[in-house]
Amino acid sequence: MKDVVALGELLIDFAPVSTDEAGYPTLKAQPGGAPGNFLAALQKYGCTTALIGKVGDDTFGHLLKGTLDKIGID
């Protein structure tokens, strides 16, 4: 049994990291979404967590799933 289970969305935040020679921003894809962030914080306090949600079978979905796996959210 998990201590906390969340239901919600995960998403990708695009954060600017630099600009190119023409002045356009270079963006980095960062995992985000309130439920995922909340569960990640709880994991750091020793809680067991799980997320009920769905991600696409694409690069961003794989990034999100890999991030959850890495920090131990089922």
Token digits of residue 10: 């995960």
- Please, what are the averages of pLDDT over each run of 10 residues along the chain (74 residues)? 95 95 95 94 95 94 94 91
Please name each of the domains of the chain with its CATH number: 4-71 (3.40.1190.30)
pLDDT at 33: 93
Beta bridge partners of 36: none
pLDDT at 23: 94
Query: How far is the C-alpha of 16 from the C-alpha of 74, rounded, in Å?
Result: 30
